[in-house]
Amino acid sequence: MNEQDILRTELRWGAVVAGAVGVIIAVVVVSSAAMVLHPPSNVEIVNPQALTQSLEFNEANLGTEILPDGSAVVRLVATQFAFVPRCIPVPANRPVTIRAVSPDVIHGFIVAGTNVNTMVIPGYVSEVKTEFREPGEYLMPCHEYCGLGHSEMWSMVRVARAEELVPDANGRVSCEIPR
């Protein structure tokens, strides 16, 4: 091969790489714009040392709240090595907002079979919006290694038909309520 050929080969591979980068950027742009796929991007800070005193994340306020419009807000604490609460009732086919905090280390969770997938970082409120279609029980494990009890850290999301979830006077539902 002479120098000309080498230069041509280099240019050709340069074009291949540029093309690949272009395709990747196009996929990211199209999927985030057209299909509304994007990582949770909520930036909201909270004092991880004072969660029990916080208005929103004190123990009595954790769990599922049904709002007047029928949507639900779930407030969770992710801590070594459990989610509080252990069982999370939510209505099917209604908007559900999950808000989670950690007082200790980085945790995370997914809900099997759904788009719910976030990290929970001390100091920040993680927020995920979703809608569950099928009633049933969905495992919600911690997916960030957080210590020796990591594999024991999970909750159960119980998706029920909206009519079956009867909130109390404060709009709360829990898994203990008979359905």
Where along the sequence are the contacts to ligand CUA (CB under 6 A)?
78, 107, 142, 144-146, 150, 153
Residue tagged 């009867």 (tokens):
166
Minimum Å gap between C-beta 104 and ligand CUA is 9
| CB nearer to ligand CUA: pick between 74 and 120 | 120
| CB nearer to ligand CUA: pick between 109 and 138 | 109
CA angle 89, 90, 96 (to 5 degrees): 140
| CB nearer to ligand CUA: pick between 152 and 168 | 152
d(CA 49, CA 116): 26
β-strand pairing of 87-91 with 154-160: parallel
d(CA 111, CA 138): 6
Minimum Å gap between C-beta 88 and ligand CUA is 16
Minimum Å gap between C-beta 62 and ligand CUA is 16
| CB nearer to ligand CUA: pick between 92 and 102 | 102
Residue 14 half-sphere exposure toward CB, CA atoms < 13 A: 6
